[in-house]
Amino acid sequence: MELQIGRDEFNQALYRAQGIVEKKSTMPILASVLLEATQGEGGGRLRVSAFDLEIGVTGTHPAEVQKTGSVAIKHKELYDIVRALPEKTVVLRREANNRVKITSGAAEFNIVGQPAEDYPAFPRAEKVAFVAVEPTQLLEMIEKTQFAISADETRHNLNGVYFETEAGAVRMVATDGHRLSLVQRAIEGDFGLKKGVIVPRKGLFELRRLLAEDGASACELGFTETSGVFRRGELTMVMRLIDGVFPDYAQVIPREADRIVTVDRPRLLETLKRMSLLSSDRTTNAVKFELSEGTLRVSSQNPDLGDAHEEIQVAYGGTAMQIGFNARYLMDVLSVVDSAQVNVELCDELSPGVLKPAGDAPPGSRYTAVIMPMRI
């Protein structure tokens, strides 16, 4: 194998693999990336693949290929080398015993590779009903749900985002048992799903990285019975879906609220940041809401430090009430909502609070966050 490729192009390919290669796996080869040099009608290509048996990303990149072939190389060392190379191009040449010579200008590295045959086969995504999706829209849906994914590994069915479709719309839901985040957007196309699927946290985070790349172009998303597949040009990502049953989230969302408070979103977010500084428990960030006509009083206290409170003018004409919340949960929601104002829907001090953007949503669109109250 011998080829020349642009350093920045190669660097981007290795960056995409960064979150997937396994650093502490019982299979050492999973810490490597697979490089495959090929020649075709469109010229030479270098395929760079990373696969941890659950999530894989592969992409082809233009290269001047003098000799086809393949080899697996430790990702971290290769990535560090490529980022430090002095010239805009890099030459790779596989030599005897899978050793690889890397040269760029006056710099030369000789590193140990592994046989490509030892690398696990990349999953083939065949018979996938792909649907065109707007990158910014899919990225927005991930950002509005990812923070509510459970980190409790014993509840594997909550370690991802539930993805389901209905006529002309896609819905994504995440919950950790203390809060829930639901976003729905209008997307035309048939994913062919008979029921919802659970996309794993790690796969979702890697998908977010790909969608956030500068100049991200039109992409496609599809599903098989066991995998989710993302495709953009010559880049493909495959992730194994979580085998489990997602809870009936509709039962968690209160049907009607007795009290609706409309509040300026940036003002409430800044107030919560200040009040949480004196919260007595840094893990729960407990704050108290005290509602009266036209006013929301947010307070926190710490036996060792003192207390704090702040009043906000709100649109509210109901009866007075008090309720406690985890400030961090509220801030997570307020940080991803786009509207200038939010509606906080409340029933009583023991019932969940519901946050929704104020104003009319576009057809097929919806965002709802549910946060369980705290005893204060």
Q: Which domain holds residue 152?
A: 131-250
Q: What is the pLDDT of residue 283?
A: 63
The answer to whether residue 57 sits within a structural domain is yes
Give CA–CA dist 150/158, Å, rounded: 5
Whether 94 and 72 have beta carbons less than 8 Å apart is answered as no
Same domain, 76 and 22: yes
pLDDT in single tens digits along all 376 residues of the chain: 999 999 999 999 999 999 899 877 778 999 999 999 999 887 899 999 999 999 999 999 999 999 999 999 999 999 999 999 999 999 999 999 999 999 999 999 999 999 999 999 998 877 888 999 999 999 999 999 999 999 998 899 999 999 999 888 999 999 999 999 999 999 988 998 999 999 999 999 999 999 998 776 789 999 998 999 999 999 999 999 999 999 999 999 988 888 999 999 999 999 999 998 887 666 678 999 999 999 999 999 888 888 999 999 999 999 999 999 999 999 999 999 999 999 999 999 999 999 999 988 788 899 999 999 998 7
Residue 280: per-residue pLDDT? 61
* 267 and 241 both lie in a single domain: no
DSSP state of 360: P
Regarding whether 245 and 286 lie in a shared domain, the answer is no
Question: Distance between CA 331 and CA 353 in Å, rounded?
Answer: 13
Q: How far apart are CA 307 and CA 300, in angstroms?
A: 6
Question: What SS3 state is found at 136?
Answer: helix
Together in a domain, 137 and 100: no
Exposed/middle/buried for 120, CB within 10 Å: 0-12, 13-18, 19+? middle
Q: Are residues 281 and 333 in the same domain?
A: yes
Same domain, 162 and 218: yes
Residue 192 pairs in a beta bridge with none
- Domain contains 51: yes
CATH code for the domain in which residue 28 is found: 3.10.150.10
Note whether residue 125 is domain-resident. no
The DSSP output letter for 362 is: P
Contacts of 137 (CB under 8 A, 6+ apart): 185, 187
pLDDT of residue 22: 80
**Residue ending a domain, choose from 54, 89, 118:** 118
Q: Is residue 356 part of a domain?
A: yes
Q: Are residues 242 and 271 in the same domain?
A: no
Residue 77 lies in a domain: yes
> Hey, CA dihedral for 67, 73, 75, 77, is it positive or negative?
negative
Residue 310 main-chain phi, psi, to 5 deg = -155, 140
Determine, yes or no, domain membership for 204.
yes
Q: What is the largest CA-CA distance in the chain?
A: 81
Q: Does residue 124 lie in a domain region? A: no
Does residue 64 lie in a domain region? Answer: yes
pLDDT tens for each residue of 281-335? 666 789 999 999 999 999 998 888 889 999 999 999 999 999 999 999 999 999 9
Q: How far apart are CA 32 and CA 23, in angstroms?
A: 9
* 138 lies in the same domain as 235: yes
Q: What pLDDT shows up at residue 127?
A: 82
Q: Which of 118, 139, 171 is the last residue of a domain?
A: 118
115: β partners: none
CA dist 232 → 22, 64, 114, 141, 201 (Å): 24, 23, 29, 18, 20
Q: Which of 226, 250, 274 is the last residue of a domain?
A: 250
CA distance 301 to 279: 5
Query: Are 65 and 112 in a shared domain?
Result: yes
Same domain, 360 and 257: yes
Q: Which of 248, 257, 260, 272 is nearest to 332 (CA)?
A: 272
- 46 and 66 fall within a common domain: yes
Number of domains in the chain: 3
> Do residues 84 and 99 share a domain?
yes
